[in-house]
Amino acid sequence: MLRILVVDDDPNSSALLKLLLTNEGHDVQCADSASLAIVQAAANAPHLLISDLVFQNGSHGLELAAGLRRQNDRLAVIFTTGMSAADVRQAPGMLEHADILEKPVDLDRLLVLVKHVAAQMTDGDGAPGHTCHQ
């Protein structure tokens, strides 16, 4: 079981991901802003952050993830975005070892990534925070 923090300012997206991942046996917390996510991460120490890349209030998921990785360098990160994944990967300051899923999120692909993170947590053989890039 992973502790997963889902951060999205769209409550429908968060609710869907929470339902999906809870049904897979994970402990899922949701936040609708970067500031709330920081508080929740401090209290629950997530293994995986699934975050929107850009929030309506102008804050950025990249900054959130970088800050949380400073506290836990093994934090796995998956970004969701309405932009092209190829463009996002080439953006300045993009985190290493972060996966990107375009919206609408392919839920089957998300589950593959989450299972990979879970396997690394039990095997301990992956690089810190590394999920899989395909």
CATH number at residue 94: 3.40.50.2300
| 20 is a domain residue | yes
Q: How far apart are CA 47 and CA 33, in angstroms?
A: 19
- Is residue 114 one of the residues assigned to a domain? yes
58 is a domain residue: yes
CB atoms within 10 A of CB 26: 18
130 has pLDDT over 70? no
In a domain, 130, yes or no: no
Please give the helix or strand (H or E) that residue 116 lies within, else none: helix 107-123
- Which residues are registered as beta bridge partners of 3? 27
Q: Which of 112, 95, 110 is nearest to 17 (CA)?
A: 110
Structure tokens at 52: 């929107």
pLDDT, tens only, 49-83: 999 998 888 788 999 999 999 999 999 999 999 88
pLDDT given at position 23? 98
Which tens digits make up the pLDDT trace of 14-48? 999 999 999 999 999 999 999 999 999 999 999 99
Distant-in-sequence contacts of 123-129, Cβ < 8 A, 24+ apart: 127/97, 128/73, 128/74, 128/97, 129/69, 129/73, 129/74, 129/75, 129/76, 129/77, 129/97, 129/98
Number of domain units in the chain: 1
Q: Residue 34's pLDDT is what?
A: 94
Q: Which is higher by pLDDT, 85 or 80?
A: 80
